Amino acid sequence: MSRRQVRGDSQRPVDWSMDLLRQIREGALDPDYAVVGKHASRGALRLPLAVVALVLGVVVAVQAWYTYQASPAAASERDQLITRIRAAEKTNDDLRSQQVALDQQIADLQKRQVGTGNQAQLDAQGAVSGGTAVSGPGMVVVVDDASGTNAARVTDEDLRQLVNGVWEAGAEAIAINGHRLTTRTAIRSAGAAITVDYRSLLRPYRIEAIGDTKTLPAHFAETSGGVWWADARSNYGLAYDVSTSASLTLPADPGLTVTTAQKS
């Protein structure tokens, strides 16, 4: 007896029943249930994404609100800081004026106490050290930032190179924007500003030097500072002008004080 006779169906093979069982096992659910389940899983994913997007939106909105609220406070603090800085600079100017007046009184007292020869020696030493004002012919160098947006700017290193070159060329006394330079003078940067003895300078920067007008400009051009600035003008567009003057007056350095003394 064949396997078909046992099944009682001469048209269907035995493997047909096995295939039917496999289909029932693998697809037990109705196809409509599968479609509904697939949509349900997508909806389940959309819900967390919506929650995350909502939370992010709230965080951004809160941060923007805090930034908006903090802007007036920051502007107010900035204005207060600027006011305090200007007040401090005004106080420093008043103190410097008082110091200049006291220095003049001291000079008058010295003249009364010392002889003519000693006074001439003190005047000569004061001119060299920066303790007294000096006048005479000399050279004027005016430098400034390059023109245009995002152009090169004069730095504290540029001014130091220039001043060192002027000293090397034979200058007897130097001042930057009216500030007398001495061996104790510091030329530094403070943020975007350049300071001389911690006083901010405004551009353009005017360097005045007492010396021989016939030799000072030529000697300066040959120094490392002169070469530095020739390159800065040619390659970076910095403004750089050298001229001479028949009469310059450089003030004394009010910050120069005697720290030690020895009786001879």
Q: How do residues 67-126 score in pLDDT, each as one tens digit?
A: 766 667 677 787 888 888 888 888 878 887 887 787 778 777 767 766 666 666 666 666
Burial class (CB in 10 A: 0-12, 13-18, 19+), 58: exposed
pLDDT of residue 105: 80
pLDDT band at 182 (very low <50, low <70, confident <90, very high): confident
Among the ranges given (38-42, 117-121, 142-146, 183-187), the one the predictor scored with the smallest mean pLDDT: 38-42
User: Would the pLDDT of 183 be above 80?
Assistant: yes
Per-residue pLDDT of 192-247, as tens digits, reads 889 998 888 999 999 999 999 999 999 999 999 999 999 999 999 999 999 999 99
Q: Does residue 55 carry a pLDDT above 50?
A: yes
Domain 134-250 in CATH 3.30.465.10: no
158 — pLDDT class (breaks 50, 70, 90): very high
The per-residue pLDDT for 12 is 47
Give the model's pLDDT for residue 257: 59
Across 63-67, 139-143, 260-264, least confident range? 260-264
Top mean pLDDT of 39-53, 110-124, 154-168 is at 154-168
Is the bond into 204 cis (omega within 30 degrees of 0)? Answer: yes
Show me where the domains of the chain are located. 1-80, 134-250
Q: Provide the token pair at 77.
A: 């603090």
Specify the pLDDT at position 16.
47
- Average pLDDT in the 130-137 region? 84
